[in-house]
Structure 1
Amino acid sequence: MTPNTENPPIILIAGHWLGAWAWDEVLEHLNTSQLHALAITLPGLESEDPQRTAATLDDQAAAIQDVMTQAGASRDRPAVIVAHSGANAPVSLVLDRNPDLTQKVVWVDSGPVAPGSSFAPDLPESVTELPLPPFDALAEQASLEGLSAEVLERFRARAVPEPAPVLRESVALSNEARGRIPTTLVCCSLPGAQVLELARTGHPMFAEVTTLEDLDVVDLPTGHWPMWSRPRDLAEVIARAASQTRGADRTA
């Protein structure tokens, strides 16, 4: 991987069951913008990895940071992190541990997690992985709007079960500097105004949004997977976020 010194590295991280492949269409549009963007597959989501069900949030956070380093991210040239859905837990860890390595974080139908939270704390210890549910069950939790039958077929064929440790573990966060990282919320399933209202009323899924000091809210109406339903528009949002300056220095 050869670092590009002209633009900040952009690291794309998809949510549960997904790997780097989920961003293929978005990358096609970003690559035409002369940006240095790359997508990664988190530990536990490589289908051929025999140890994948043992992957932890620490493993995933370490992998993100390794990729950032390889892409040339530094305090002088911080990265743009794009996190979709369930990637919010390991990304929140990265932001907490090394906030000065990130110029901006773009949450795609997602947002920062609260300290001590976990995705599925009551998941039985006997469960080693969580497969992609049937789509009728999934649609009760996340909008499938904009996804064609062909896209859903690809989703089903390529999805990798999520490692159970990643879902059960609580996220240990302690560095308030993560709230000072410039942030873009890309709101798809819910309009931005509703997300902000839920945050203000203390909804556990959105409450951490109130800690963000430099926040831009972008409405991109579609379902929970805009990288497939509106890839060009999502790429444009990411490119705009990456073009914005780092802003005032932050103290970790």
Structure 2
Amino acid sequence: MTTSTNCPTIILVAGHWLGAWAWDEVLEHLWSHHLRATALTLPGLDPDDPDRAARTLDDQAAAILDAMARLGVSEDQPAILVAHSGANAPASLVLDRHPELIQRMVWVDSGPLATGSTFAPDFPLAELPLPSIDVLASQASLEGLSAGDLERFQSKAVPEPGPVLRQPVELTNYARRTVRTTLLCCSIPGTTVLQLAHAGHAMFAEVAHIEHLDILDLPTGHWPMWSRPRDLAQAIQAAASRTD
């Protein structure tokens, strides 16, 4: 892989049940343009980890920060952090704790969380397996996914740790709202996201407080890394190159 020393490091983090493997096609496109990009498997989503089900959001945020350190990310060389879906919880913690390490935040069919947000505070089990495809389709759009995509999803998905679902996201640093941000809106149009944000919808309320916001629609389902990988890579590349 050839990389450019002038481009920021791009770090990709997928949502619930997913590891670094979810970004394989997107990474191929980014690397073909000589971009410095890598994907992470968060703690709790490594099937070979014997303590997987006990991992927390703090563990996941720490893993992102550890990866940044290994990749040479610093205040002088901040990264592009790309968070898909449920990765918004650990990414929001990282954004709050070290906004100086992020040149631009890119949310893929997702967005920043408000303080106190919890995915499932009363979740009673040790872990949440991937639901059946029928149930999944009732929860999120599967538009654009092939039978092969769904088969791979089912075969490689790792149950989400219960502590990750129950832990509230505690945020204190206003500077998180000053980081330049791109929303890549897939299953919900950007205009709808903004309407919900300004109406105070719990899932999108934090969006209304972002000072430097760019919105790009990429119409497809909730997993654009499989349904439109080339277009998603191009959108990430465009976001990474923005300076305004």
TM-score between both structures, scaled by the size of structure 1: 0.94
1:28-64 Cα shifts (integer Å, max 9, x gaps): 1000111100000000000011000010000000000
> Which amino acid in structure 2 is aligned with residue 105 of structure 1?
M
The corresponding residue for 1:250 is none
**Within 2, Cα distance between the matches of 1:50 and 1:32?**
36
**Within 1, Cα distance between the matches of 2:5 and 2:114?**
34
Indicate conservation of the 8 Å contact 1:10/1:37, yes or no. yes
- 1:212-231 alignment, distance < 5 Å: 212-231=210-229
In structure 2, runs of 5+ residues without a counterpart are none
Cα deviation, residue 5, structure 1: 3.5
**Within 1, Cα distance between the matches of 2:177 and 2:183?**
13
> Which amino acid in structure 2 is aligned with residue 141 of structure 1?
Q
Query: What is the alpha-carbon root mean square deviation over aligned residues?
Result: 1.0
- 1:1-252 alignment, distance < 5 Å: 5-124=5-124, 127-245=125-243
1:96-151 Cα shifts (integer Å, max 9, x gaps): 00000000010000000010110001112xx1000000111111110000000010
1:173-215 Cα shifts (integer Å, max 9, x gaps): 0001000000000000011001100111111011110010000
Specify whether residues 183 and 170 from structure 1 end up closer, same or farther in structure 2 by C-alpha distance, changes over 3 A only: same
Cα deviation, residue 7, structure 1: 1.4
**Within 2, Cα distance between the matches of 1:36 and 1:182?**
19
**Within 2, Cα distance between the matches of 1:144 and 1:179?**
31
What secondary structure sits across from 1:7 in the alignment? coil
Equivalent pairs counted in the alignment come to 242
**Within 2, Cα distance between the matches of 1:202 and 1:114?**
11
What secondary structure sits across from 2:138 in the alignment? coil
> Which amino acid in structure 2 is aligned with residue 82 of structure 1?
V
Indicate conservation of the 8 Å contact 2:65/2:94, yes or no. yes
What secondary structure sits across from 2:238 in the alignment? helix
Indicate conservation of the 8 Å contact 2:4/2:34, yes or no. no
Indicate conservation of the 8 Å contact 2:46/2:158, yes or no. yes
Cα deviation, residue 72, structure 1: 1.1
Indicate conservation of the 8 Å contact 1:13/1:84, yes or no. yes
> Which amino acid in structure 1 is aligned with residue 39 of structure 2?
A
**Within 2, Cα distance between the matches of 1:140 and 1:185?**
23
Cα deviation, residue 4, structure 1: 6.3
What secondary structure sits across from 1:80 in the alignment? strand
> Which amino acid in structure 1 is aligned with residue 66 of structure 2?
D
TM-score between both structures, scaled by the size of structure 2: 0.98
Indicate conservation of the 8 Å contact 2:187/2:222, yes or no. yes
Indicate conservation of the 8 Å contact 1:180/1:214, yes or no. yes
**Within 1, Cα distance between the matches of 2:188 and 2:164?**
25
**Within 2, Cα distance between the matches of 1:236 and 1:188?**
14
Indicate conservation of the 8 Å contact 1:145/1:223, yes or no. yes
